[in-house]
Structure 1
Amino acid sequence: MQSINLPSKLPSSPHPILNLSFRIFFSAGALFAIITMALWAFVFTGHTDIDAQTLNPLYWHGHEMIYGYALAIVAGFLLTAVKTWTGVMMPHGYKLLGIFVCWLLARLSWVGFGLGITVAGSSAALLYAAAVFDLLFIGTMAFVIFRAVLQVKQYKQMGILAKLALLTVGNALCYWGIISANMTLTKVGVYLGFYLIIGLVLTIGRRVVPFFIERGLSVPNAQGETEVVTVRNNKAQDIASLLFFFAFFITDMFYPNKYLLTISALGVAVVNIVRLIGWYHRGIWQKPLLWSLYIAFLGMCVSFVLYALQPWLGYNHSIAVHGLSISGIGMMTVAMMARVSLGHTGRSIHQPPKIVNAMFALMVVAFVSRVFLPLIDMSHYLLWIMLAQSAWIACFALFCISYLPILARPRPDGLFG
């Protein structure tokens, strides 16, 4: 008879927020989303002393949205999900705190640069310090995920691991561009990170959105009857989405051919619209944690259509970029955090805080204000941007009000997590 060796010591941490990575990274990421967007509003309108000679303010904003906010949420999600996928315990307690502090110090350095603070007479010194901490953060996160996946030989996760490795390269390119005063290199690093994050969202979203829909709707109704909901997904869609997205990514970054861009962007949009049709169930509109994910994916599809049309209609490329970032990074991460934060703290995913409807609606407002209103009326462009910034900040403020207490408290069932 085979004996089972139980762990001699149960995991523990000095505070519940350090139990698992999603707690601290979701909390800090949400707060940072407010701080960095508020600061961007001042930078954008010329009300800070940012050193534009060292770094284009647009790339300051882009870097912190991608390698600051988005990567924090990715870290919180992956360092939690990999534990579920592999059964290998992820960093917690002081080890998790060490990874988080690297992220935090890098963000403080970037905030200081945005404010125009100088060290030893140079604001660039802050970015040099940020480079060290940022690469330590990404490198450590990638290492623990690689180690867990290889330990149990889950080679099907190699796509996600490859994206993490490339994100490290992308961030390094950003810093190398700053150090060598090569703004083109920094731009490549920013866009490489952006499209890798979108690639991760498409990959992870393909897995979790249908799972969440099935779990969220296959529950007893008022009459005690359970409708088993199954949504459609297939391998051909996965392969087509990956190939079209890879072609789009290469074309938009390195080979700006309008025919290839239109074909590849439309390909991504069409494949994922077909996927959304297969995922659709009327019951999602009764569940804010489901319709938010669905709308986020739909917003990504609309954004890829905007990419396809942009070379022919002549509107600003940044409209499509911001559509994809607000839907694929903003809306998708908020919706994921709202669901994961409940499930992994032992709370009911069927009874989210009532405020979540307003939270998700505000992100929709941000999308409409930043994408559609400038297409209709460019004469009020600054107003539309300020409206989108305000809606973004309000969305994350509501998230912090409703979810930070949940993330900072122990599980009600007393389990570690």
Structure 2
Amino acid sequence: MNRNRWMGPGASVWGSGFRPFYLLGTLYAPLVLVGAAAALGGLVTLPATSGTPASWHGHEMIFGFAAALIVGTLLTALPSWAGTPEVRGGPLALLAGLWLAGRLAMWAGPWLPKAVCTAADLALVPALLALLGPAVWRARNRFFRWLVPILLAFAAANAVHHAGLLLHDPALSRLGLEAGVYTVVILFALMGGVLTPIFTGNATGGALPGMDLRLEILAAGSIALLAALDLCGAPPAWVGLAALGCAVVHAVRTARWRGWLVARQPLLSVMHLSFVWLVLAFVLRAVAGLTGLVSPAAWLHVFTVGSLGMMMLGLMTRVALRHTGRPLVVPVPMRFAYAAMFAAVPVRLAAEIHALPVAFLVAALLWVGAFAVFLLLFARALLAPSLPRAVPPRMVGS
């Protein structure tokens, strides 16, 4: 392939995975909410392959929006952390094109055969694994091998969702969405659980205890057990007890990272707060299973908005600053974006518990606004060449 075609004006966007995928993901965030709201209001008709407006919204949040930011982060982190070749130029454009094709298929389904829509939406993760899988599996640090089965599970969950839609089986399609969420939870807990203590340790001069491998295995295993019980339809009390176990294990794990030592550093505090929301999400799932006082869906929004939303904003800011040659100084508007994302969690939870339409709207505006601030601040940096740096980054956010 002629590399010169990727070296002209505007080619910087194809220089690293975070650039196109952070742009696409943040641009897509408001479209997902607007599309779902328009469908609920009867203003548009969703594709036959998309199910209900709630199903479409859930799918696009997990396999569209979240997938873009996850792929962008992995493509940027793995070359430094696992020593994999960096995906750039044509291969990166191919991945971005596959993501975009999946999104167009999920919007343009009425005019496309169902098989075409399904194939377009399922293509991204297999292509990503084809590019990264062999190198990750051969990496000297075997820790990163867990990415391969998690990404395979993520792709399988999407396939199950589409199978349910094609078979007109709402329960099967919902199972695929729930499985997709759990794969993201495990990915969040493992990847965030590596980055958060390392960055905190660097900032505090190594004031943290070393990694406890048994606790890390227990943390991942507790989520896997919860997912297995929940997805298999185990009795609510069993699911509640498993969720309670997750809450205890992850509370201990989070406390070991001593987030209070970096409370004045926004880039680190948002990462610690994201794990606090994770613990609360598990507590809510336990309350739902053991008492029925809250909906089982309550934990989902605490995770997706609080845990995932705050971690994404924090990592995206860190990566965008460091990997475009800028100092790790958080712009003041981003601090307000972090606050908006934090505030969106209790508002969204109140909307879920008390069925308040106004709260739904406020939470959506806070969530979209937080990502809009990132886009306004960093879109130009993501498109432009990086500023010169004396020492290249050794790792994401180093």
Do they superpose with TM above 0.5? yes
The match for 1:320 is 299
Q: 1:54 to 1:62 in 2, by over 3 A?
A: closer
1:137 counterpart letter in structure 2? L
Deviation at 1:256, TM superposition (A): 3.0
- 1:6-53, Cα deviation, whole Å (9 max, x unpaired): xxx999644111101111101111111121122223233443323579
SS at match of 2:326: coil
Normalized against structure 2, the TM-score is what?
0.90
Does residue 169 in structure 1 map to residue 156 in structure 2? Answer: yes
Does residue 408 in structure 1 map to residue 369 in structure 2? Answer: no
Deviation at 1:371, TM superposition (A): 1.0
- Give me the CA root mean square deviation: 2.4
The match for 2:364 is 389
Deviation at 1:179, TM superposition (A): 1.9
Q: 1:355 to 1:231 in 2, by over 3 A?
A: farther
The match for 1:361 is 339
CA separation in 2, counterparts of 1:44 and 1:360?
29
CA separation in 1, counterparts of 2:333 and 2:49?
43
CA separation in 1, counterparts of 2:157 and 2:259?
38
Deviation at 1:177, TM superposition (A): 1.7
Does residue 258 in structure 1 map to residue 236 in structure 2? Answer: yes
CA separation in 2, counterparts of 1:248 and 1:11?
48
- 1:347-376, Cα deviation, whole Å (9 max, x unpaired): 222x1222111111111121111114543x
Which of these residues, 152, 157, 165, is aligned with residue 144 of structure 2? 157
Which of these residues, 13, 20, 24, is aligned with residue 17 of structure 1? 13
1:73 counterpart letter in structure 2? L
Does residue 209 in structure 1 map to residue 196 in structure 2? Answer: yes
CA separation in 2, counterparts of 1:37 and 1:416?
38
SS at match of 1:70: helix
SS at match of 2:123: helix
- 1:255-281, Cα deviation, whole Å (9 max, x unpaired): 331222122111111111112211114
The match for 1:136 is 123
Q: Is the 8 A contact 1:241 1:271 kept in 2?
A: yes
The match for 1:305 is 283
Q: Percent identity?
A: 24
1:110 counterpart letter in structure 2? M
Does residue 193 in structure 1 map to residue 180 in structure 2? Answer: yes
CA separation in 2, counterparts of 1:289 and 1:242?
25
Is there any run of 5+ residues in structure 1 with no aligned partner, and where? Answer: 1-8, 120-124, 219-226
Between structure 1 and structure 2, the one with the greater Rg is 1
The match for 1:37 is 33
Q: 1:353 to 1:39 in 2, by over 3 A?
A: same
The match for 1:147 is 134
Q: Is the 8 A contact 2:310 2:338 kept in 1?
A: yes
Normalized against structure 1, the TM-score is what?
0.86
Q: 1:257 to 1:348 in 2, by over 3 A?
A: same
Deviation at 1:294, TM superposition (A): 1.0
CA separation in 2, counterparts of 1:101 and 1:274?
41
Q: Is the 8 A contact 2:82 2:144 kept in 1?
A: no
Q: Is the 8 A contact 1:232 1:279 kept in 2?
A: no
Which of these residues, 46, 66, 91, is aligned with residue 62 of structure 2? 66
- 1:127-170, Cα deviation, whole Å (9 max, x unpaired): 54332222221111111111212344543322111000111111
SS at match of 1:169: helix
Which of these residues, 19, 26, 36, is aligned with residue 22 of structure 2? 26
CA separation in 2, counterparts of 1:412 and 1:403?
13
CA separation in 2, counterparts of 1:320 and 1:95?
37
SS at match of 2:263: helix
Does residue 370 in structure 1 map to residue 366 in structure 2? Answer: no
The match for 1:56 is 52
Q: 1:263 to 1:250 in 2, by over 3 A?
A: same
Q: Is the 8 A contact 1:54 1:181 kept in 2?
A: no
CA separation in 2, counterparts of 1:295 and 1:412?
31
CA separation in 1, counterparts of 2:5 and 2:185?
34
Give the alignment of 1:271-290 within 5 angstroms: 271-290=249-268
Does residue 104 in structure 1 map to residue 81 in structure 2? Answer: no
CA separation in 1, counterparts of 2:312 and 2:94?
23
Is there any run of 5+ residues in structure 2 with no aligned partner, and where? Answer: 394-398
Q: 1:396 to 1:146 in 2, by over 3 A?
A: same
Deviation at 1:286, TM superposition (A): 1.4
Query: How many residue pairs get matched?
Result: 387
- 1:208-237, Cα deviation, whole Å (9 max, x unpaired): 01112123x24xxxxxxxx55335531121
